[in-house]
């Protein structure tokens, strides 16, 4: 949406303030203390770990969370780029979880489609990555536009990023989300068919037409 500008031109001081406000970050993230941390890497939650235990609702620090499935080819192609992000933004936290193992979270945050990336401040989702081009550069631009935090220079996708911790190789498995969707659709069609037949038999005159 385009903003409606006033016809009266602002004073030079107001122009400067307007420019500063336009460049202000949308999410004011509290950068974590990285003293003593030698290796910056992505943390993957297992099936028994709850995302909300890793998000502090009383803080203003930011966490980028990836919802993925190991048999999704788009998740696999994104993996090496997401694996390199902790080195580019050491003051932020990065988490990933298998959406098929955390279906309640997928429903809660509307992340049924994968891969899905959410930026959290504390325990509150603040922004969603919506670009179809999922590369290190577009991810860095997204983080910078939302938080104002610049990525460290010289960070690139390496061979280690292709190996993990987030897998870049597809694994065979059942897409439970798709299966549940198909079962729900089939159940709805069956229910609608049965209801239609029941109503048709209750309408006067329909039974005689059926006998003829």
**Both structure tokens of 2:** 């385009």
According to DSSP, residue 31 is labeled: P
pLDDT in tens, 45-69: 988 888 888 888 888 899 999 999 8
Distance CA 66, CA 105 (A): 12
| Residue extents of the structural domains in the chain | 43-162
Q: What is the reported pTM?
A: 0.67
End-to-end distance of the chain based on CA atoms, in angstroms?
A: 62
Q: At how many degrees (to 10) do helices 136-147 and 73-88 cross?
A: 60
Rounded to the nearest integer, the mean pLDDT of the chain is 80
Task: Please determine, for residue 158, whether its predicted confidence score (pLDDT) is greater than 50.
Answer: yes
Q: Which of 4-18, 42-56, 171-185 has the highest mean pLDDT?
A: 42-56
At residue 16, the pLDDT reads: 43
Task: Please determine, for residue 120, whether its predicted confidence score (pLDDT) is greater than 80.
Answer: yes
Handedness of CA 158, 160, 162, 167 (dihedral sign): negative
Residue linked to tokens 């409606």: 4
Task: Please determine, for residue 5, whether its predicted confidence score (pLDDT) is greater than 60.
Answer: no
Task: Let me know if domain 43-162 sits in CATH 3.30.1490.20.
Answer: no
Distance CA 130, CA 118 (A): 10
> Which contiguous run of DSSP H or E holds residue 188?
helix 176-202
**Both structure tokens of 118:** 């959410």
């Amino acid at each position: 949406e385009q903003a409606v500008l006033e016809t009266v031109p602002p004073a030079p001081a107001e122009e400067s303030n307007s420019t500063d406000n336009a460049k202000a970050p949308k999410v004011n993230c509290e950068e974590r203390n990285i003293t003593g941390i030698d290796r910056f890497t992505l943390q993957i939650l297992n099936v028994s770990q709850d995302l909300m235990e890793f998000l502090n609702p009383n803080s203003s620090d930011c966490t980028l969370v990836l919802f993925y499935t190991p048999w999704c080819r788009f998740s696999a192609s994104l993996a090496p780029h997401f694996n390199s992000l902790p080195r580019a933004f050491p003051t932020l936290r990065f988490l990933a979880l298998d959406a098929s193992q955390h279906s309640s979270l997928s429903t809660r945050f509307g992340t049924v489609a994968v891969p899905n990336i959410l930026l959290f401040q504390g325990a509150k989702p603040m922004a969603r990555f919506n670009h179809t081009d999922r590369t290190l550069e577009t991810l860095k631009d997204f983080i910078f536009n939302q938080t104002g935090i610049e990525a460290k220079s010289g960070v690139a996708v390496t061979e280690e990023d292709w190996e993990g911790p987030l897998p870049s190789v597809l694994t065979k498995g059942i897409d439970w989300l798709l299966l549940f969707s198909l079962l729900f659709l089939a159940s709805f069609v069956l229910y609608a068919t049965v209801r239609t037949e029941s109503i048709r038999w209750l309408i006067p005159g329909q039974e005689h037409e059926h006998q003829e």
